[in-house]
C-alpha cells in the first residue's frame, strides 16, 4: 500500500512538472503573453509595453503595436535588453510628415545582417504615431 501511494505521489508530481513544461513551451516566441494597451494609453505606456514584448519575444504583441511603415521586433534582430528610456520628444507633422512621439533609449540586440544591424548595445529611437487604435510604432533607428 505504501509503495502504491508513493508511486501515485510521484506520478502526480511528474504530471505537475509536465504541465509546467508545456506552459513554458506555449509561452515561447510565437505566442502573445501581453495585451494591447487601450487606445487611451499614453505613448510612454505603449513604448514600455512594446519594449517589454520585444524583450520577452512576444512577436504577436510587437506586430500588433507596429504600424505598416516599419518592422516589428521579433525574430531578427532580437531585443535582449533596453535601458534609459527618455522623456517624449514631440515631432509635429511639419517636421516628420505625421505627428510623432519619439523616445531615445539604449538597446542591446542580436545581429540582423539583412537590416544592417550588428549585435551589441547602441543608442536607439522609437517614434509612435497616434492612430484610432492608439499609439503604434511608426519609425525607429539609431540616433
Same domain, 92 and 24: no
Q: What does the longest C-alpha to C-alpha distance in the chain come to?
A: 81
Q: What is the tally of structural domains in the chain?
A: 2
Same domain, 114 and 86: yes
Same domain, 24 and 44: no
Same domain, 79 and 131: yes
In a structure prediction context, what are the per-residue pLDDT tens digits for the chain, which is 143 residues long? 444 333 333 333 333 333 333 333 233 344 456 899 999 999 999 999 999 999 999 999 999 999 999 999 988 899 999 999 999 999 999 999 999 999 999 999 999 999 889 999 999 999 999 999 999 999 999 87
Same domain, 20 and 55: no
Same domain, 71 and 2: no
Q: What is the pLDDT of residues 111-133, one digit of tens each?
A: 999 988 999 999 999 999 999 99
Which ranges of 73-130 would DSSP assign to H, the alpha helix?
93-96
Same domain, 18 and 84: no
Classify residue 115 by its DSSP letter: G
Q: What is the CATH number of the domain that holds 105?
A: 3.10.450
Amino acid at each position: 500500500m505504501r509503495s502504491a501511494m508513493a508511486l501515485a505521489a510521484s506520478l502526480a508530481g511528474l504530471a505537475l512538472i509536465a504541465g509546467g513544461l508545456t506552459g513554458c513551451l506555449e509561452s515561447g516566441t510565437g505566442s502573445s503573453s501581453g495585451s494591447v494597451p487601450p487606445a487611451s494609453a499614453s505613448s510612454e505606456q505603449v513604448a514600455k509595453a512594446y519594449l517589454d514584448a520585444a524583450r520577452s519575444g512576444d512577436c504577436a504583441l510587437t506586430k500588433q503595436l507596429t504600424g505598416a511603415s516599419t518592422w516589428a521586433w521579433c525574430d531578427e534582430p532580437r531585443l535582449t535588453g533596453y535601458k534609459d528610456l527618455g522623456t517624449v520628444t514631440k515631432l509635429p507633422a511639419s517636421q516628420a510628415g505625421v505627428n510623432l512621439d519619439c523616445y531615445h533609449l539604449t538597446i542591446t540586440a542580436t545581429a540582423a545582417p539583412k537590416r544592417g544591424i550588428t549585435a551589441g548595445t547602441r543608442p536607439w529611437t522609437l517614434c509612435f504615431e497616434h492612430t484610432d487604435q492608439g499609439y503604434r510604432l511608426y519609425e525607429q533607428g539609431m540616433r
